[in-house]
Structure 1
């Protein structure tokens, strides 16, 4: 069925007031979206930051009296209304619309990420089945792209792999499909570990080839190849621990790093690794190297 949508241009300080007021006058849903494509990186723990210029979207039943909404909202908030727009939007098959936006994606020369509803474009290639839109990493972000391209170019036969901050397991599973005999994943989020197990099973990976652990349970291991696609701050803070997980002569790839953060991350690893030139994609970077 169609809906009546109210869009308000608000500041973060106004968010709670207008969310409560809109729900009180009958909104069936309230969501926030970035008004200016402004990224938010590394928020403070236990905070949910909003953009400095935020759009609040509220949906009402189609038969709602649009002329009464804004006066009622102004009465509830007791303030001059921010810039706003009201429109009628038609219903659609949102799931089908979402699915049509995602096609198989190629990384490097051999590797494809293929959504479950698509046939593999190259059946004989290395095809990793993973649905974009799932939590914890699906290949659509530049940092995951950079790591997948790097893995595709590595000789992984006879190499052990460790995925530090494994999320969906996409990097470890890609390494296994590309020839690594085994991989280990670790993440601070138990749901990420469950997602990794599910995705490994979907791709026919024997659980014994890909055990996953919370950090406190991670065995003392060193791997031939370590990938860590997290954030620059943790990569710097955890540099001694991550370094210790790489065998001498082993290879390391780091991402989740903005271009302006690259030098700080490189400096944290330069004493122990012969670092490659920094790879960049859409303002994000990958730092890789070989442990001395």
Structure 2
């Protein structure tokens, strides 16, 4: 059994107070926008290469978890003394039951159907044994199949199965898309991710699904600069996709296809323009939308005189 109390903090006091509370004995501290779901709600996120608009919300609701027997007043007083500040008022307090946190986490992930493809967390039984079942343990990597961008890519692959083709999944995360490509009959699949934890998770998931996918880091992948693929998939974020556009376009084999997601509707034209600058002969278009996200697919002509010396 634990206790949880909440306090309100302005942006300029947030970091100092959360550090002081943890130093005073708090077990954990979490922060949410106190203006959430109101006209004053503010965005607080960014992408690699792009600074977030703010480092903290204007009004922060801070939830502090402590031992059940902890004296909340003493803990606040210790933190306040460390900061030479007055302790903030407690606005809510409740008890929190101990539980099986692994089961609680797993309960958030249910099997997801995308056409005839099922993404099934490893602790669930496949609902349809006759379907294409992709068993996934997300581990520490991004990718449970629940995000709209993953669904968009899965839907596209179901409509355009890469049977007998070579596939590159750049930014593979937990391996959902690369494993699905292999399950749909791809002749060769390579997955690349900057995160070693993602590579380890994807390898485990491929083994569990009894498919062959070669997972590697970007540095090792770059050692084969002239390797091309029939299908290149990148489901990451808009800014990294634009940075990687010359390399990704180069990796598409003449006559091949590229599939891009992780892109908001408002970012789609910028992505298309970036790829056309990388290879003006490519054709790209938005092919699907879901909850404000889009998938972009493109093709490269069969003749390909363009070469990128630094893929």
Give the Cα–Cα distance (whole angstroms) in 2 for the partners of residues 39 and 148 of structure 1.
Answer: 29
Give the Cα–Cα distance (whole angstroms) in 2 for the partners of residues 215 and 227 of structure 1.
Answer: 15
Please tell me whether residue 23 in structure 1 is matched to residue 22 in structure 2: yes
Q: Which residue is 2:5 aligned to?
A: 6
Please tell me whether residue 170 in structure 1 is matched to residue 170 in structure 2: no
Which consecutive unaligned segments of at least 5 residues does structure 1 have?
A: none
Q: How far does residue 71 in structure 1 lie from its aligned partner after superposition?
A: 4.4
Please tell me whether residue 239 in structure 1 is matched to residue 228 in structure 2: no
Please tell me whether residue 125 in structure 1 is matched to residue 131 in structure 2: yes
Please tell me whether residue 229 in structure 1 is matched to residue 235 in structure 2: yes
Q: Which residue is 1:95 aligned to?
A: 102
Secondary structure in 2 matching 1:266: helix
For normalisation by structure 2, the TM-score amounts to 0.82
Please tell me whether residue 40 in structure 1 is matched to residue 45 in structure 2: yes
Give the Cα–Cα distance (whole angstroms) in 1 for the partners of residues 98 and 293 of structure 2.
Answer: 36
CA RMSD of aligned residues (A): 2.5
The verdict on how the C-alpha distance between 1:205 and 1:58 changes in structure 2, with shifts beyond 3 A counting, is same
- Contact between 1:40 and 1:51, CA under 8 Å: does it hold in 2? no
Secondary structure in 2 matching 1:97: helix
Q: Which residue is 2:119 aligned to?
A: 113
Which consecutive unaligned segments of at least 5 residues does structure 2 have?
A: 38-42, 302-311
What does the per-residue CA deviation read over 1:173-192, in whole Å, with 9 as the maximum and x for residues that have no partner?
Answer: 11111121220112222332
- Contact between 2:282 and 2:298, CA under 8 Å: does it hold in 1? yes
Give the Cα–Cα distance (whole angstroms) in 2 for the partners of residues 61 and 22 of structure 1.
Answer: 13
Q: Which residue is 1:183 aligned to?
A: 189
Please tell me whether residue 214 in structure 1 is matched to residue 217 in structure 2: yes
Q: How far does residue 20 in structure 1 lie from its aligned partner after superposition?
A: 2.5
Q: How far does residue 69 in structure 1 lie from its aligned partner after superposition?
A: 4.2
For normalisation by structure 1, the TM-score amounts to 0.87
- Contact between 2:268 and 2:286, CA under 8 Å: does it hold in 1? no
Secondary structure in 1 matching 2:164: coil
Please tell me whether residue 104 in structure 1 is matched to residue 90 in structure 2: no
Q: How far does residue 68 in structure 1 lie from its aligned partner after superposition?
A: 4.0
- Contact between 2:165 and 2:188, CA under 8 Å: does it hold in 1? yes
